[in-house]
Chain A
Amino acid sequence: MNIVDVKGLTKRYGQENAVEDLSFVLEKGTATALIGPNGAGKTTSLSMLAGLLTPTNGKITMAEDLTVGFLPQYPQFFPWLTALEFTEMAAKLSGVEIAKAKLQATRTLEFVGLGAEINKKVGAFSGGMKQRLGLAQAIVHQPKLLLLDEPISALDPTGRREIMNLLKSLQQDTTILYSTHILNDAEEMTDQLLFMKGGCLIEQGSLREVKERHANPQIRIQFQSNSRALAFTERQMWKCEVKENSVFLPFYENGPNMQQVLHVLASEKEDILGVEFQTASLEEIFLKVVAAE
């Protein structure tokens, strides 16, 4: 079931298109990663979905009674409120029953790892703590849709891991759309990838689909020297490439698969240093796709 349907979304500032003809759907209970270089239009897109900005063109259709939580990239808080006071207010303004708001806020703060800081003023919070509080205010009313703008970029590796785990645990009941430029993490939690550049969507699909299109999987066979690698290719009729001491066999239709390759190698008299299956990481794909556009 699609809970969000975005069609032809466009935001224009004067002559400039911040977002141009963006279309995608968010399926219930999925995580979608919005990826793109700085200035790609990720924040503008998320702001339109959050209802802060009015699109110049296009349409956002949301499921009825869809509750939304939003975490901006740099959340700003009233420094004179405590974490609990702020989160409680956020809960109430988002429709949580007044009587339940305090308890729900406390639990949410504990969930994001601010249990010891609930009564501290936000003005004294570090960047990482603010990021956690930002997440808390976004999820305190248990929204069905969670929009997160760079939720983990400002965190240290430990904090990043913790927040990723929190987000994964939310995934069962929540549909998540998040932007990031930390692609290792995106690879970990994504059902759908949206690549943006210059305001346009330049690639989209599941992680598998995108990898199939761009990852160029290949088998690398390492020999002792360049001449031995070349000698090996002369004996085989495979389409391949030799770089230094290695032979690279790309996967292609009707080409050899791993099993066939291993079978051949088993009876090979040359010394083989290693055989490995190689596929481009999301980061490499990202760089390639962005550079190609």
Chain B
Amino acid sequence: MKHFAILLQKEWRENIRNYKIFWIPAIFILLGITEPVVNYFLPQILESSGGLPEGAVFELPTPPPEQILTAVMEQFQTIGMVVLILAYMGTIAGERKSGTATLLYVRPLSFPAYFLSKWGMAAVVSLASIWLGFLAGYYYTLLFFGNLEVVKLLQMVGTYSVWVLLILTVVLTASAALPNGGLAAASAFAMYLLAQLVDGLFGTNWAVSPVKIPQYAAAWLTGKPDSGSLGGAIAIALLIILSLSAFGSWMAWKNKARTKV
């Protein structure tokens, strides 16, 4: 616990001084704003790009606000996840590779505290990023596409946060287990895509599959996801997060000999 506080302070300083705490939220805010703004100005954009023949009448249906926010989430699901994976792929492997970890590992270090300090900081930055991103998207959606209850937004963001934590845990565990950040990112991507593929192909009836959490999050906007399925999926996600964290701490300890001396 004492080590956790000491190491968390180090992570905090790192994330501030290498500007991660600024640029990661900035990307998510940008992604959040882009969706409603682009949709709203789509007619003008089409016109200025000159893609339509003279005299063409083109009725663009105004999408409902929930559709815009779902599209924001889709942006987060692709570009957003890539950003998070790339930002945190080297958090443990990189320290080993550069040798900065050596001076930590030669002390009576608590490896669970070491892993959790990294997890905690990455969670703070990532959650703040998606919350700010959704909030920015929500603001422009209200502005351009009409009202949507804020409770619905909070329910969606809350549910989606579990998914983000799951992705983060996978990245950090890969970073603890694999020799370098590139491999960690590649394997995290592979797992991300594979899980979605498997769930998409065979998982029609797997109601409690954690891969469905983003879908359930989106369902809050139009109604209410099945609470049993949602609860089950979240419970399984939390279980995975816990076991991966334990595994990641153990891998960080096991790989301490790999740090550059």
Contact check, B261 vs A73: say whether CB atoms are below 8 A apart.
yes
Alpha-carbon distance A54/B106, docked complex (angstroms)? 13
Interface size class of B (residues with CB under 8 A): 20 to 34
Q: Determine which of A76, A80, A92 lies in contact with B102 in the assembled complex, contact meaning CB atoms within 8 Å.
A: A76
Nearest-CB residue, chain B, relative to A147: B106
Q: Determine which of B6, B98, B257, B261 lies in contact with A72 in the assembled complex, contact meaning CB atoms within 8 Å.
A: B261
Known A47-B261, A52-B261, A85-B13; contact A93-B100, beta-carbon cutoff 8 A = no
Chain B residues closer than 8 Å to A51, beta-carbon distance: 106
Contact check, A53 vs B6: say whether CB atoms are below 8 A apart.
no
Known A72-B102, A93-B6; contact A80-B17, beta-carbon cutoff 8 A = yes
Known A93-B109, A94-B107, A95-B108; contact A78-B261, beta-carbon cutoff 8 A = no
Interface residue? A137 (CB, 8 A): yes
Q: Determine which of B9, B18, B102 lies in contact with A52 in the assembled complex, contact meaning CB atoms within 8 Å.
A: B102
Chain A residues closer than 8 Å to B144, beta-carbon distance: none
Quick one: CB contact mask for A80-93 with B, threshold 8 Å, 1 for yes? 11000100011011
Nearest-CB residue, chain B, relative to A74: B99
Inter-chain CB contacts under 8 Å: number? 65
Nearest-CB residue, chain A, relative to B101: A76
Nearest-CB residue, chain B, relative to A72: B261
Interface size class of A (residues with CB under 8 A): 20 to 34
Contact check, B108 vs A70: say whether CB atoms are below 8 A apart.
no
Interface residue? A75 (CB, 8 A): yes
Interface residue? B192 (CB, 8 A): no
Contact check, A52 vs B257: say whether CB atoms are below 8 A apart.
yes
Nearest-CB residue, chain A, relative to B259: A52
Quick one: CB contact mask for A24-62 with B, threshold 8 Å, 1 for yes? 000000000000000000010001001111100000000
Contact check, A80 vs B106: say whether CB atoms are below 8 A apart.
no
Q: Determine which of A54, A70, A93 lies in contact with B257 in the assembled complex, contact meaning CB atoms within 8 Å.
A: A54
Contact check, A77 vs B103: say whether CB atoms are below 8 A apart.
yes
Interface residue? A148 (CB, 8 A): no
Alpha-carbon distance A92/B13, docked complex (angstroms)? 16
Interface residue? B152 (CB, 8 A): no
Alpha-carbon distance A70/B256, docked complex (angstroms)? 15
**How near does chain A come to B125, taking the closest CB pair, in angstroms?**
16
Interface residue? A68 (CB, 8 A): yes
Interface residue? B226 (CB, 8 A): no
Alpha-carbon distance A130/B10, docked complex (angstroms)? 19
**How near does chain A come to B114, taking the closest CB pair, in angstroms?**
10
Contact check, B108 vs A75: say whether CB atoms are below 8 A apart.
no
Alpha-carbon distance A53/B106, docked complex (angstroms)? 10
Chain A residues closer than 8 Å to B98, beta-carbon distance: 76
Interface residue? B250 (CB, 8 A): no
Q: Which of B14, B107, B259 has the most CB of A within 10 A?
A: B107
Alpha-carbon distance A81/B18, docked complex (angstroms)? 11
Instruction: Give the residues from 236 to 263 in chain A that come closer than 8 angstroms, CB to CB, to chain B.
Output: none
Contact check, B10 vs A72: say whether CB atoms are below 8 A apart.
no
Interface residue? B260 (CB, 8 A): yes
Q: Determine which of A52, A77, A85, A93 lies in contact with B256 in the assembled complex, contact meaning CB atoms within 8 Å.
A: A52
Quick one: CB contact mask for B82-121 with A, threshold 8 Å, 1 for yes? 0000000000000000111011111111000000000000
Instruction: Please name 15 pairs of A and B residues whose Cβ atoms are closer than 8 Å in the assembled complex, sorted by A.
Output: A43-B261, A50-B106, A70-B106, A72-B102, A76-B98, A76-B103, A80-B13, A80-B17, A89-B10, A93-B108, A94-B107, A94-B108, A95-B108, A134-B103, A137-B103
List residues of chain A with CB under 8 Å of any chain B CB. 43, 47, 50-54, 68, 70, 72-78, 80-81, 85, 89-90, 92-95, 98, 134, 137, 149
Q: Which 9 A-B pairs have the closest CB atoms?
A: A76-B99, A80-B17, A70-B106, A93-B107, A76-B100, A92-B6, A50-B106, A94-B107, A53-B257
16 additional A-B pairs beyond A51-B106, A77-B100, A149-B261, beta carbons within 8 Å, are A43-B261, A52-B259, A70-B106, A72-B261, A74-B99, A75-B103, A76-B103, A78-B10, A80-B13, A80-B17, A92-B2, A93-B104, A93-B108, A94-B108, A95-B108, A137-B103
